Every structure is written in C-alpha cells, then in structure tokens.
Amino acid sequence: MSRAGPLRVAILGTASSGKSTLAAALAAHYNTVWVPEYLREFVDTEARVPVAADQFPIARTQLAREEQAAARANTYLFCDTTPLMTAVYSRHYFLGIDPQLAVLADQHRDHYDLTLVTAPDIPWVPEGLQRECEQVSRIISVLLMEELAARSIPYQMVAGSVEQRVAGVAALLQNLS
C-alpha cells in the first residue's frame, strides 16, 4: 500500500486497451487528477520510438510526474502506467529489462493501492509511432500477466464499456475505503 496521501491506482494494459480513457474517466468521476502516460509525450517530443537506453529515464519521469500529481490529487490518483509496464515492453522489444529499470519496478511493487489491468476487449486502434500491431499487443498482454504473477502483484481485470469499467472500479474502490 502507498504512503500517506491519495490512494494510488495503477492502470496497466496493452496498447489500445483503454488505459488513458479509463484514467481520465475515473479522474472526472472522482473530481481528481490522473497521470498521463509519459511515453506518449516522449514519442511526440522526440518524434521517434524509444530505444533501450530511454526505458529507465521514461519510467523515472513517469514516477516524477506521479509524485507531482499526488500533491494535487483528491482522495485518489489514477496512474496511466507504471515502471512495470515499461519493464514489460523492454522485455519484449529489447529482450530484457535494464537493471536500473528492474530495480525501479521492484521498488514500486507495493507502491499502488490497487492495480487494474484493462482487458483488450475494445476495438484496437493504431496510434502513431509508438503503437505496435494487434498481434504484438497480444504478446505484451501475456508478458504483463507473467510479470504480475512473477512479482506477486494482485490485480483486477476491468472490461466492457467505459461506463462499465468506471462502475466496476468504483465498486473496488469502495471496498478499499
């Protein structure tokens, strides 16, 4: 569980599985803030996909943005991805996880009060430079489940429409309070 401050909710999943949409909808529902995925900004700013050496700085920046947002959060902080997701992508694209990134992901294993995994049950839509094909998304989904199991991180799968997902998460959060 996280330290004093807002309850932190990690939202993990493959590309085009609705993580950002869910984070924004939950933040609106609870009148709080959410932490967008820094990778999107990185790709737009750098006009390229990340290389292996970028993985640790991307994850570190994601966490720094999370800490900044926590100061403005109201009860809950919804985090669109975590260092674990960066590690999963590193495992696939770079055939391993940088030691610094592995340590960062391990250090934040218990950083979140609730971990959600978005089911890939919505239409897949390619999105610019950073988005892999649907087949790779299926591979990433398997790798994510393996990493969650290997690190003994409990999670809840969320599926359905945005409204169904928000309602399901609301029930989970009510049980946490």
Q: What is the CATH number of the domain that holds 56?
A: 3.40.50.300
Q: Return the pLDDT at 7.
A: 96
154, 12 Cβ separation under 8 angstroms: no
Please report whether residue 1 resides in a domain.
Answer: no
Q: Return the pLDDT at 123.
A: 72
Please report whether residue 2 resides in a domain.
Answer: no
CA dist., res. 108 & res. 9, Å (int): 12
Q: Return the pLDDT at 3.
A: 58
Q: How many domains does the chain have?
A: 1
26, 34 Cβ separation under 8 angstroms: yes
Please report whether residue 25 resides in a domain.
Answer: yes
Question: Which parts of the chain have pLDDT scores under 50?
Answer: 1-2
Please report whether residue 76 resides in a domain.
Answer: yes
Q: Return the pLDDT at 51.
A: 96
Q: Return the pLDDT at 62.
A: 97
Q: Which domain holds residue 161?
A: 7-176
| 3-state secondary structure at position 37 | coil
CA dist., res. 42 & res. 81, Å (int): 14
Q: Using the structure block, give the residue that is written with the tokens 């218990």.
A: 110
pTM (two decimals): 0.93
Q: Return the pLDDT at 1.
A: 47
Shortest CA distance to 9 belongs to which of 88, 53, 89, 66?
A: 66
Q: What are 163's two structure tokens?
A: 């409204």
Q: What are 89's two structure tokens?
A: 């992508």
Please report whether residue 38 resides in a domain.
Answer: yes
Please report whether residue 50 resides in a domain.
Answer: yes
CA dist., res. 117 & res. 92, Å (int): 18
